[in-house]
Amino acid sequence: MSSVVVIGAQWGDEGKGKIVDYLAQKADAVVRYSGGSNAGHTVVVNNVSYKLRLLPSGILYPGKTCVLGNGVVINPGVVLKEIKDMRDKGVDISRVVISDRAHVVLPYHQVLDELQEAALGKAKIGTTKGGIGPCYMDKVARTGIRICDLMEPDTFAAKLKINVEAKNAIITKIYGGKPFDYETMLKEYLAYAEELRPYVADTGVVLDEIFAAKKNVLFEGAQATFLDIDHGTYPYVTSSNPTAGNAATGSGIGPCYLDHVVGVVKAYTTRVGEGPFVTELLDKDGDGHKIRETGHEYGTVTGRPRRCGWLDAFMLKYSARLNSLDYLAITRLDILGNMDHIKMCVGYTIDGVEIKQIPASLKTLGRVKPVYEEFAGWLCDISKCRSFDELPANAKKYVQRISEVSGVPLGIISVGPNRDQTIVLHEVL
């Protein structure tokens, strides 16, 4: 028996879906423990692209138990469409399990997300407007509606009525928006409830039974370390804890079940939305543009162009400490194959003085200057490499330096989107 937590070590979009899909070959269960439908994963199998928003990446293997844990917020319409799309593509969805303790995203959450972002103006967070933040707000305020409530029509109707009245007051009186009709929403969601019912269970118990049977479990993080509500670049973060420590809480198991943590890091850095980005390349037609277009760096869910920059290995060191990373999974190394020079940030300075930690204050972080090391590019296609020895010397130097600065051994190197375009230096499952 073994378990592995796969987390994003940067701002998301690192290619976690590909790494989870690859590791899922040896897993018996794949568990999503945080986030909502704002967290898209793209997995390519036999050159066919699958875009996942809520279902764990392990869904593309038959016979794997795929769990949406209590830490996830569920938009029923999104997850049911995803289930239908997978079924239509011939994917086995019989072993999908949804936690009865997970919270439900409702239409008023999405509208409030949009209205709140608009009201912030230039100070906007840059959300996907999927209602994720407002749903987590209700969860913490103890006014949220859970899947178990949705399964009980009388309970759901009573809670929904109270919430619709409260949300309509906010929407109309504060934001000047249009109110929701309670009966319409009730009918829509009770229909969702019947479709979801076969998948609902106490996922903590399901996982406990899987561990008792000595099976392998893979925990799939959504978003990433620097979007963590506690440890990221607050307030430009998500509304949950995508870091490794939440894998237990967000799935309903004890922390003793977590064996290894793999940090997924893109060979460069990207971020979507607002907030600080120390190594961002703002040149209109320079290296940042080249990386974006070569790597097709546009959001899976929103289609928004991602902000691009050189790899920030100093922030990766922070991720390593925070998540207790055992191994790195470096992705998209192939995208840098047409760069004649590559830079890596290995430290920060403020007013010429080196600092040892990443500041919590965004005002202070805004004054930071990156300390770069420069590397010669390898200027060739590495997508057919299947072992570390086959990589060009300059590519080896680059990834080895990432490991040195972060203090984390190399575990996996991805050289393309397909499953077979993967170099494994250490087996973790």
Cβ pair 248, 70 in contact under 8 A: no
Enter the tokens of residue 24. Answer: 């899922």
Enter the tokens of residue 43. Answer: 């997995």
Q: How many residues are recorded in the chain?
A: 429
SS3 for 34? coil
Does residue 13 have an active-site annotation?
yes
- Write out the E strands in 9-56: 29-32, 41-45, 48-52
Residue 170 per-residue DSSP state: I
Please give the Cα distance from 34 to 70 (Å, whole number): 8
Among candidate residues 21, 28, 41, 231, the one labeled active-site is 41
> If residue 344 lies in a helix (H) or strand (E), which one and from where to where?
strand 341-350
Please give the Cα distance from 275 to 131 (Å, whole number): 20
Does residue 41 have an active-site annotation?
yes
Closest CA to 270 of 47, 7, 15: 15
Cβ pair 313, 344 in contact under 8 A: yes
* CB count in 10 Å sphere of residue 299: 17
**Greatest C-alpha distance within the chain:** 66
| Cis-peptide into 235, omega within 30 deg | yes
Q: Which residues are catalytic?
A: 13, 41
